Copies of this chain bind each other. A is one copy, B any other.
Amino acid sequence: MSRTAAKSLLLDASLLRDAEALHSALSGLLRVYQFRDRDRICCYDISVTQCYALEELAEKGPSRSQSLAEALLLDKSTTTRVVDALVRKGYAKRRPDPDDARAVILCVTAAGRKLYEKINRELIQQQAELLRDFDPGLRNGATKVIEGLARAAQARFVSGVSVGRCDPACGTDAVAARCG
């Protein structure tokens, strides 16, 4: 055990350096892409979150409100309101669930699918322009790396029990507010 501990300590220095670099790089990436999404998606008729919801419904098919919330990592109340907006704008609709009178089935309308596909095409087109400057061999690798990172982050940050989060180790003092 002491050997392992020593080794782990040795690794820690470089690991922390890497973690810091990754953190910094990811911050930048997130910022730019959030900006891009605001900028592009909001040129149309819906907000970014609304578009994510539309995407989820369009790609994965009809869904209950709760599973949509889980997929989007949103609170159920937020999901209700996001769907409200989509319904109001005619891009989604709610149907009663025949199996459970409490639940609703959410699905996209034809207009919703059309809009989603249009936005999606544009976003992908933008990625294509960006990738065009990359070495073809790197392109695939980049996606692989992102996917791996996303998977790892999903597993680690979105605590196993699906919705429950903020494990006891969260922060050290001012945790009370949201994690109490």
Contact = CB atoms under 8 A, between A and B. Distances in A.
Interface in A1-49: 11-12, 14-16, 18-23, 25-37, 39-40, 42-45
A84 to B, nearest CB: 20
Contact of A15 (B20, B128, B177): B128
A162 to B, nearest CB: 12
A18 B143 contact: yes
A125 interface: yes
B22 A131 contact: yes
A67 to B, nearest CB: 15
Contact of A133 (B35, B122, B152): B152
A157 B36 contact: yes
Looking at A26, A44, A123, A132, the one whose CB has the most chain B CB atoms below 10 A away is A26
Interface residues of A, number: 76
Interface of A: 11-12, 14-16, 18-23, 25-37, 39-40, 42-45, 52, 55, 72-73, 120, 122-134, 136, 138-143, 145-150, 152-154, 156-158, 165-166, 170-171, 174-175, 177-179
